[in-house]
Amino acid sequence: MNNTSLKMVVIVAEPVLESRLVKALHDLGATGCSIVDGRGEGSRQAHATDVPGVNIRIEAIVRPEVADRIMAHVAAHYFTHWSLIAYVVDVVVARAGKYG
Protein backbone atom coordinates (compact mmCIF):
# COMPACT_ATOMS: atom_id res chain seq x y z
CA MET A 1 0.00 0.00 0.00
CA ASN A 2 2.88 2.37 0.68
CA ASN A 3 0.81 4.68 2.88
CA THR A 4 2.35 8.05 3.72
CA SER A 5 1.65 10.77 6.28
CA LEU A 6 0.61 14.07 4.76
CA LYS A 7 -1.43 17.09 5.81
CA MET A 8 -5.01 18.04 4.99
CA VAL A 9 -5.47 21.80 4.93
CA VAL A 10 -9.06 22.96 5.31
CA ILE A 11 -10.17 26.54 4.69
CA VAL A 12 -13.72 27.68 5.48
CA ALA A 13 -14.42 31.02 3.83
CA GLU A 14 -16.93 33.21 2.07
CA PRO A 15 -17.83 31.94 -1.43
CA VAL A 16 -16.52 35.12 -3.07
CA LEU A 17 -13.00 34.00 -2.17
CA GLU A 18 -13.17 30.63 -3.94
CA SER A 19 -11.21 31.37 -7.10
CA ARG A 20 -8.58 33.43 -5.25
CA LEU A 21 -8.06 30.72 -2.65
CA VAL A 22 -7.94 27.90 -5.20
CA LYS A 23 -5.33 29.83 -7.20
CA ALA A 24 -3.32 30.50 -4.02
CA LEU A 25 -3.40 26.80 -3.07
CA HIS A 26 -2.09 25.85 -6.50
CA ASP A 27 0.56 28.56 -6.48
CA LEU A 28 1.75 27.40 -3.05
CA GLY A 29 2.13 23.78 -4.13
CA ALA A 30 -1.22 21.95 -3.86
CA THR A 31 -1.89 19.74 -6.88
CA GLY A 32 -5.65 19.79 -6.38
CA CYS A 33 -8.43 20.53 -3.92
CA SER A 34 -12.02 19.62 -3.21
CA ILE A 35 -14.75 22.11 -2.36
CA VAL A 36 -18.05 21.65 -0.54
CA ASP A 37 -20.75 24.28 -0.08
CA GLY A 38 -21.93 24.88 3.47
CA ARG A 39 -23.22 27.46 5.86
CA GLY A 40 -21.87 28.96 9.05
CA GLU A 41 -23.47 29.70 12.39
CA GLY A 42 -21.59 32.30 14.36
CA SER A 43 -21.88 32.89 18.06
CA ARG A 44 -24.78 34.91 19.34
CA GLN A 45 -22.22 37.49 20.43
CA ALA A 46 -21.54 38.04 16.71
CA HIS A 47 -17.76 37.88 16.87
CA ALA A 48 -16.24 39.34 13.73
CA THR A 49 -14.18 36.20 13.41
CA ASP A 50 -17.08 33.82 12.81
CA VAL A 51 -18.22 32.81 9.35
CA PRO A 52 -22.01 33.15 9.36
CA GLY A 53 -24.16 32.67 6.26
CA VAL A 54 -23.22 30.72 3.16
CA ASN A 55 -19.64 29.50 3.01
CA ILE A 56 -17.34 27.09 1.23
CA ARG A 57 -15.09 24.40 2.69
CA ILE A 58 -11.93 23.93 0.63
CA GLU A 59 -9.86 20.83 1.40
CA ALA A 60 -6.41 19.99 0.00
CA ILE A 61 -4.03 17.11 0.77
CA VAL A 62 -0.45 18.39 0.69
CA ARG A 63 3.07 17.83 1.94
CA PRO A 64 3.86 19.37 5.36
CA GLU A 65 5.92 22.23 3.95
CA VAL A 66 3.10 23.15 1.56
CA ALA A 67 0.66 23.14 4.48
CA ASP A 68 2.95 25.53 6.34
CA ARG A 69 3.10 27.87 3.34
CA ILE A 70 -0.68 27.84 2.93
CA MET A 71 -1.29 28.56 6.61
CA ALA A 72 1.22 31.41 6.58
CA HIS A 73 -0.34 32.80 3.40
CA VAL A 74 -3.91 32.87 4.69
CA ALA A 75 -2.80 34.29 8.03
CA ALA A 76 -0.91 37.08 6.27
CA HIS A 77 -3.42 37.92 3.55
CA TYR A 78 -6.90 37.05 4.77
CA PHE A 79 -7.24 37.10 8.54
CA THR A 80 -7.35 40.87 8.86
CA HIS A 81 -10.19 41.52 6.45
CA TRP A 82 -12.04 38.23 5.99
CA SER A 83 -13.97 35.85 8.25
CA LEU A 84 -11.87 32.84 7.37
CA ILE A 85 -10.99 29.68 9.26
CA ALA A 86 -7.98 27.53 8.37
CA TYR A 87 -6.79 24.35 10.00
CA VAL A 88 -4.50 21.40 9.36
CA VAL A 89 -5.19 17.72 10.05
CA ASP A 90 -2.74 14.78 9.87
CA VAL A 91 -3.81 12.25 7.26
CA VAL A 92 -2.44 8.99 5.89
CA VAL A 93 -2.86 8.54 2.17
CA ALA A 94 -2.27 5.78 -0.32
CA ARG A 95 -0.20 6.69 -3.39
CA ALA A 96 1.50 9.76 -1.96
CA GLY A 97 3.16 10.78 -5.22
CA LYS A 98 -0.03 12.30 -6.58
CA TYR A 99 0.10 15.07 -3.99
CA GLY A 100 3.11 16.79 -5.53
Residues that bind a copy of itself (CB under 8 A): 1, 3, 6, 8, 12, 22, 26, 30-45, 47, 49-52, 55, 57, 61, 68, 71-72, 74-75, 79, 85-95, 98, 100
Q: How far is the CB of 50 from a copy of itself (least distance, A)?
A: 4
Give the shortest CB-65-to-a copy of itself separation in angstroms.
13
**Exposed / middle / buried, residue 77 (Cβ in 10 Å: 0-12, 13-18, 19+):** middle
HSE (side-chain half, CA atoms, 13 Å) at 52: 8
